[in-house]
């Protein structure tokens, strides 16, 4: 009988307990394929710790830097596959079955899910989803697409850098040099609250502006400081 792949889930969290409280039971409902869950909290939240106790997840503390959080969780993981999820992720279908097929039938070293907004979908949502699908054919999928890989490939690639933004970029580039890193048709549902709060076109434009600045060589730590003031990105430093 074919033995299912075992997965370690790593979730960075920072004041996102409401959504984490929805995600953890969804992960637990996936069954025995989930070997362990690590929640890496950058807010020292007692509520986050209580959620981890309730859903039998390991609570880890970290400085407020997403790359450092992801590295902290991966360093503790013991399963053959590492799956990195944002706290606001939601599932559609059986993601573990999709992950299992990537390794056993397609001979890949990892992959990522298709981006789709959760909940009510205003008219810009399908346009942005198509644009993201085109971008990741040649570019880098971001963490909200449920990136996963073999533990061996992760460590051979050097893991996530300790960057607050764009920490996926160097890792995914190195993974693609190692072997097949597959984009799946199955979706991860992404909470649209940031787009709703900031405005759909403003949020999209800001993301592209940050990505362009990163591609031009502006360091991620500076971009993180400027995250809430994107119009200052291209101003010269004093």
pLDDT at 136 over 60: yes
pLDDT surpassing 60 at residue 233: no
Q: What was the pLDDT predicted at 238? A: 46
pLDDT higher than 90, residue 144: yes
Sign, CA dihedral 112-78-7-51, equals negative
More confident residue, 205 or 8: 8
Alpha-carbon distance 123 to 150, whole Å? 37
Whether 23 and 11 have beta carbons less than 8 Å apart is answered as yes
Q: In this predicted structure, what is the pLDDT of residue 231?
A: 56
Taking the CA atoms of residue 223, residue 114, residue 68 and residue 199 in that order, the dihedral angle to the nearest 10 degrees is 40
Q: Which of 20-29, 114-123, 132-141 ranks highest by mean pLDDT?
A: 20-29
* Bridge-based pairing state of the strands 58-61 and 110-117: unpaired
List, in order, residues 6 or more apart from 118 with CB less than 8 Å away. Answer: 90, 189, 190, 191, 192
Q: What angle do CA 168, 80, 18 make, to 5 degrees?
A: 55
Q: What is residue 6's predicted lDDT score, i.e. its pLDDT?
A: 95
Q: In whole angstroms, give the CA distance from residue 209 to residue 227.
A: 10
- Mean pLDDT (whole number) for 37-64: 97
Tell if the pTM clears 0.85, that is, is over it. yes
- The pLDDT, as a whole number, for residue 227 is 76
In sequence order, what DSSP letters do the residues of the chain get, joined into one string? -PPPPPEEEEEEESS-HHHHHHHHHHHHTT-TTEEEEEEEESS--HHHHHHHHHTT-EEEE--S-HHHHHHHHHHH--SSEEEE--TT-EE-S-HHHHHHHHHHTS--SEEEEEEEE-SS--THHHHHHHHHHHHHHHS---GGG--EEEHHHHHHTT---S-SS-THHHHHHHHHHHS-EEEEEEEEEE--HHHHHH-HHHHHHHHHHHHHHHHTT--HHHHHHTTT-GGGTTSPP-
Q: Please give the share of the chain, as a percent, with pLDDT higher than 70.
A: 95
């Amino acid at each position: 009988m074919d033995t299912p792949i075992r997965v370690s889930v790593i979730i960075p969290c920072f004041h996102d307990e409401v959504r984490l409280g929805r995600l953890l039971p969804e992960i637990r409902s996936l069954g025995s394929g989930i070997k362990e869950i690590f929640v890496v909290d950058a807010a020292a939240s007692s509520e986050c710790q209580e959620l981890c106790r309730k859903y039998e997840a390991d609570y880890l503390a970290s400085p407020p830097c997403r790359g450092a959080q992801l590295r902290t969780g991966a360093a503790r993981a013991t399963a053959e596959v590492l799956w990195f999820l944002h706290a606001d992720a939601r599932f559609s279908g059986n993601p573990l079955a999709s992950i299992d097929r990537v390794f056993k039938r397609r001979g890949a070293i990892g992959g990522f899910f298709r981006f789709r907004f959760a909940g009510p979908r205003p008219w810009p949502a399908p346009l942005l989803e198509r644009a993201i699908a085109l971008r990741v054919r040649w570019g880098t999928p971001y963490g909200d697409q449920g990136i996963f890989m073999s533990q061996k490939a992760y460590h051979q690639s050097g893991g996530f850098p300790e960057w607050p933004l764009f920490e996926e970029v160097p890792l995914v580039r190195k993974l693609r040099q190692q072997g097949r890193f597959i984009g799946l048709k199955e979706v991860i549902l992404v909470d649209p609250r940031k787009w709703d709060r900031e405005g759909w076109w403003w949020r999209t434009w800001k993301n592209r502006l940050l990505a362009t600045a990163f591609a031009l060589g502006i360091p991620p730590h500076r971009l993180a400081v400027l995250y809430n003031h994107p119009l200052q990105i291209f101003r010269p430093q004093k």
